[in-house]
Structure 1
Amino acid sequence: MHAIGKIYFDNINLRNGKYTPTRAYGQSKLAVVLGTRELAKRLGKSTVTCYVLNPGAIKTDLQRHSDMSEGMMNMMFMKPDMGAQTTLYCTLQEELDHESGFYYNNCKRVDKMVKQATDDETANMLWELTCDLVALEDALRI
């Protein structure tokens, strides 16, 4: 969903009739991608690594209010243990210890990202906006 996302800096909370579930979800997913890239950049040569990943469609208790049948959910969603595989991969694979800020899908690094997901200027602006929104002290900003 990050691929269809856009950061609405002029209306970050999508107020005044601009909110739609798809627009908000796309913006939030794009913000996670950009925020992870920016964090990795700011951490530099630190031993701390960060990744953003798509675990896939996972059958969890979130779907309990869905109108979808149990059989349909079983066909469309994977079990949580399978959905955790990319998270486990990024956490446990030692060869990833020296890279940070990348996007993973199905235990593979995705290098071809849509333009808005690799825009360093937007990532920096989002970082600064986030720091302002949470009133982070200047001394704590990295």
Structure 2
Amino acid sequence: MSAVIANAGVMGLPTYEEKYGMEAQFLTNHLGHFIFVNSLIDHLVPDGRVVVLSSSAHRRTYTGGLDFSALNHKEDYQKWRSYGQSKLANLLFARELNHQFAGTSRTANAIHPGVIRTELVRHFINPVIQIGAKVGEWLVFKSLAQGAATQCYAAVHPDMAEVGGEYLYDSNIQTSSVLGQDRTAGEQLWEFSEKFSDRFR
């Protein structure tokens, strides 16, 4: 296997949802990817690549970054903060995985695909926002092909052969938030995610 692209997600769930004792956006967007990617690592070729879809929304997480206490608190649920937290987790996961690839030719990167014409906006309840999103789909949103471009670039382009631990948008390396560069938070996230995933082994 030459590359693994972790691209699945939900966004802005209007009400708190929980599975396995975990808030659904974090469960789907990060923990699902964590388990999926780690189950495939042994099948990667020596110079294989992992690409994790994050988002510019990683900047709109909880104040101070990852808040593990918010993952099962129904009363304090904030749908956009929760989504931002899951996208920050995607970024930190990719960077920590790249650290763990040290000494090999494998790499891991996170990307922001942009705002794309997909079904992610289906949870927008406000009808005005729904109409705006539908109009925006054709005026400013990226097509599916445009949205896939950066992840494909990170996965297969020769220029990315030795690039790891980065955050990309429009096929260029970008600067993430300071929270997205926190190595300690990445290590804590990895430990938390491993403990959660142990139940499925």
Query: Under a length normalisation based on structure 1, what TM-score does the superposition of the two structures give?
Result: 0.84
Is structure 2 residue 194 aligned with structure 1 residue 131? yes
Is structure 2 residue 95 aligned with structure 1 residue 32? no
How many residue pairs match? The answer is 136
Cα distance in 2 for partners of 1:81, 1:16 equals 37
Query: Which ranges of 4 or more aligned residues in structure 1 deviate by more than 6 Å?
Result: none
Cα distance in 2 for partners of 1:71, 1:12 equals 34
Cα distance in 1 for partners of 2:66, 2:158 equals 33
Contact 1:14 1:24 in 2 (8 A): no
Q: CA RMSD in A?
A: 2.2
Contact 1:57 1:78 in 2 (8 A): yes
Stretches of structure 1 that go unaligned for 5 or more consecutive residues are: 137-142
Contact 1:55 1:105 in 2 (8 A): yes
Cα distance in 2 for partners of 1:4, 1:72 equals 21
Contact 1:58 1:80 in 2 (8 A): yes
In structure 2, the residue matched to 1:49 is 107
Query: What is the CA-CA distance between 1:48 and the residue it aligns to?
Result: 2.1
Query: What is the CA-CA distance between 1:36 and the residue it aligns to?
Result: 0.6
Cα distance in 1 for partners of 2:150, 2:113 equals 6
Q: Of 115, 123, 133, which residue of structure 1 is paired with 2:178? A: 115
- Identical aligned residues as a percent: 25
- Higher relative CO (Cα under 8 Å, sequence separation at least 6) belongs to 1
Query: What is the CA-CA distance between 1:64 and the residue it aligns to?
Result: 5.4
Contact 1:49 1:101 in 2 (8 A): yes
Stretches of structure 2 that go unaligned for 5 or more consecutive residues are: 1-56, 125-129
Query: What is the CA-CA distance between 1:100 and the residue it aligns to?
Result: 1.1
Query: What is the CA-CA distance between 1:16 and the residue it aligns to?
Result: 3.9
Query: What is the CA-CA distance between 1:39 and the residue it aligns to?
Result: 0.4
| Greater share of residues in strand | 2
Cα distance in 2 for partners of 1:30, 1:64 equals 22
Cα distance in 1 for partners of 2:163, 2:122 equals 38
